[in-house]
Structure 1
Amino acid sequence: MRKTLMLIFAGLGTLVGVFLLSNLNEAFMNYSPELLKVTHRSNVDLKALTVKYPELTVEDTEKDIIRTPYGKSLWFATQLPSISGVIRANLIPIEPAFSMKKYVFELKQKLEHYSRGDFGTSGGYGSTKGILFKDQLKKMIPRTLTYLLPGLLFSILLGVGFSLLAFMRKSLGKLIDGIHMLLMGLPDFFVIVLIQLIAVYASRLTDKRVILIIQVGNEVPFLIPFLAITLIPAVLIYGTMRTAIGREMAQAYVVTAYAKGLGRSRVLLRHVFRNVLEDLLAIMPKATTIAVSSMAVAEVLCNIVGVGGYIIRPFYQDVSALPLMCTLLAVFTISLHGIFALIRKLLVVNTSEVA
């Protein structure tokens, strides 16, 4: 029970940390959070602005500078020009600085909006109204899961399957080990780009669109993100399982099984694999994290508006809910970690010596 509580607190702490770090940009400011310079016609008195907005005060009459409530200067800069006689209201530049006060203020504002069900908008410029984030999320999550979950499942099958095959067929095992070493030496980003380049050249050679490379309208690439999510975690799983199986193959019970006339395949599948299951479940949290990061990179390269790649499109660069998206990705990853931990607890029998 104590261990479970510690894991829950660790997960919650991770989520809070992700949310705080993803909002870190809010702590940097290059304009005054409470001063505005107002350009107005000569017949307009700055003090008249305080009639409509009592929270405003005149800071400097000669320089036409007014003071706003802290953190509201940007909002008032967009509202004041609507008053007759006010031409524009400009933010006052300051030397870039890190402000903990502004960071805390912005966090409080966001949490207040979230409590009201306002999770921000995506896109929207000038008079163009943005799309509600929660409405956009309903499309992005199913789109991403169509290749994330199958890719993660297939990576497990691929990693485990090839590790068993490498021990069943030693000559084939050397070839698989060589490919594994090559993929281990390549950066994840390079592997994904390589998959995309192969798809491009395959399409050029056949003069037909063999593989969809980028998202076009509602047509979303599947094979490229699927392979990216599959290959990179599979390489990690294969290496772990190869080492674990090699360790078990040197154990006395394997020698005994051979002495009784059992074949290599039967020993691997019925005895060894059962004992390396804990190694597989132990590496799965890390493999899951790699799969999620590979998904994000693949969506960016394929221009897919999914959970990990929606921000790369110009229309969505004005998103105000990016920290929430990062937190949702963390929730998904930690949830899978919890599932693997539960499976490990149910399937793996822990033994210890007693006095």
Structure 2
Amino acid sequence: MVRFILRRSVGVIGVLFAISVLTFLIFQAIPNGDPALRLAGRLATPQQVADVRAQWGFDRPLYDQYFTTMGKIFSGSVVSYTQQVNVLQEIKRDLPATLSLAIGAGIIWLGLGILFGVLSALSAGHLLDRGLTVLSLVGVSTPVFFLGAMMLYYLGYKWSIFPLGGYVPLTQNPWQWFTHLLMPWFALSVLFIGVYSRVLRSTMLETMNEDYVRAARAKGISRSRVTLRHVLRNSLIPVIALFGLDFAAVIGGGAILTESVFGLHGVGQYAADSIFRLDVPPILVITMLTAFAVVVIGAFVDIVYALLDPRIRL
């Protein structure tokens, strides 16, 4: 297991380096025009553009520009010249809202997705399975912004059950933090619950027909024990893969619509605002950190794979 983790770690380092080079080329080297002008913004004066060019080393060789760009990103010194703020400080300020949304929604969609998938697989062809299938299709087909707007109107405005959006830090008021995030959690989770339950159902039904499952049942082992100890464990592998990618995507801005509808002011909403302003520095930093998060979480998922299925370590 230790050897597997070491091999995976070396691979992660190589992928992270490739991502940093590719991101640099996409933002700085490949597009036509002056990269200093893109970073400085549309309203920058010629002197400001010249200052940006000198600070980022755009008058030096390409490899020097790469190391300067990476140094600025990882030292936290990238500044949004349009908004006049430090990008990393803005991300740190908005990250608690995004993490709160992603972690809470992730727990909900993973738990309910597994529960509904198991129930649907065990009752395949029966009324419960058909009902869960309809609910899954409705959840997958419902846009987040529509569901969020309906929840805000009925649960927040009309019936006054939950607050009308906004975010309260956990350290400030835990109960208000919880109540403000309940609707965003469920609005973001509905789509994933439908997808995960369908994936788990199909995987479990396929696994139930494997020879080792039939052999275990033939030896007299109860159906529930075979399902929980063998079928479910092997069927969770694709679900965990999806969860790792989806969770990283949500943290990196995949919850833009949810954050915007409920006014959470997280990293996703910050990225959307920067795109609207054509503010390149925040987009550059968020893209880099998001890609890194996806790779690191993917490596963690691979380790979980190995724990679930020892054959993967080979």
Given the two structures, how large is their TM-score scaled by the length of structure 2? Answer: 0.71
Identify which of 198, 209, 213 aligns with 2:150.
198
Q: Where do 5+ consecutive residues of structure 2 fail to align? A: 1-5, 39-43, 52-57
Match of 1:119 among 75, 78, 85: 78
Aligned mate of 1:159, from 113, 134, 141: 113
| Most deviating of 112-121 and 215-224 | 215-224
Q: Indicate the residue corresponding to 2:88 in structure 1.
A: 134
1:164 positional shift = 0.8
Q: Does 1:14 align with 2:2?
A: no
2:164 — aligned with what? 212
1:304 matched residue in structure 2: 264
Q: 1:224-270 CA distances to partner (integer Å, 9 max, x unpaired)? A: 43224423333332222112100111123433444455443333112
* Cα deviation, residue 73, structure 1: 6.8
Partner Cα separation in structure 1 for residue 117 and residue 95 of structure 2: 32
Stretches of structure 1 lacking an aligned partner (at least 5 in a row)? 34-71, 80-99, 125-129
Which of the numbers 95, 98, 109 marks the counterpart of 1:144? Answer: 98
Identity of aligned residues (%): 18
Greater relative contact order (Cα 8 A, min sep 6): structure 1 or 2? 2
Distance in 1 (CA, whole Å) between partners of 2:82 and 2:37 is: 25
Residue from 129, 133, 140 that aligns with 1:177: 133
Deviation at residue 160 of structure 1 after TM alignment = 1.3
Asked whether the equivalents of residues 254 and 268 of structure 2 are also in contact (C-alpha less than 8 Å), the reply is: no
Task: Compare the two structures and name the one with the higher strand fraction.
Answer: 1
- Residue-by-residue CA offset, 1:189-240 (whole Å, 9 max, x unaligned): x52112212213313432x363433569998852343224423333332222
Using the alignment, how far apart are the partners of 1:77 and 1:2 within structure 2?
44
Maintained 8 Å contact 1:156/1:234:
yes
Is residue 266 of structure 2 the alignment partner of residue 294 of structure 1?
Answer: no
Contact 2:139 2:193 in 1 (8 A): no
| C-alpha contact (below 8 Å) 1:121/1:133 kept by paired residues | yes
User: Could you say if the C-alpha distance between residues 103 and 22 of structure 1 is closer, same or farther in structure 2, counting changes exceeding 3 Å?
Assistant: farther
**Aligned to 1:267, what secondary structure does the other structure show?**
helix
TM-score normalized with structure 1 length: 0.64
Equivalent-residue separation in structure 2 for 1:259 and 1:273 (angstroms): 18
Structure number with higher helix proportion: 2
1:171-192 deviations in Å (ceiling 9; x for gaps): 21121122223444x2xxx521
- In structure 2, what is the equivalent of residue 346 of structure 1? 307
Aligned partners of 2:35 and 2:235: how far apart in 1? 55
Task: Give the length in aligned residue pairs.
Answer: 284
RMSD value, Cα: 4.2
Give, in whole Å, the separation in 2 of the partners of 1:302 and 1:313: 15
For the pair shown, the structure with the greater C-alpha radius of gyration is 1
CA distance in 1, matches of 2:287, 2:242: 23
More divergent stretch after superposition (344-353 vs 132-141): 344-353
Answering whether residue 239 of structure 2 is matched by residue 280 of structure 1, we say: yes
**In 2, distance between residues paired with 1:342 and 1:240?**
21
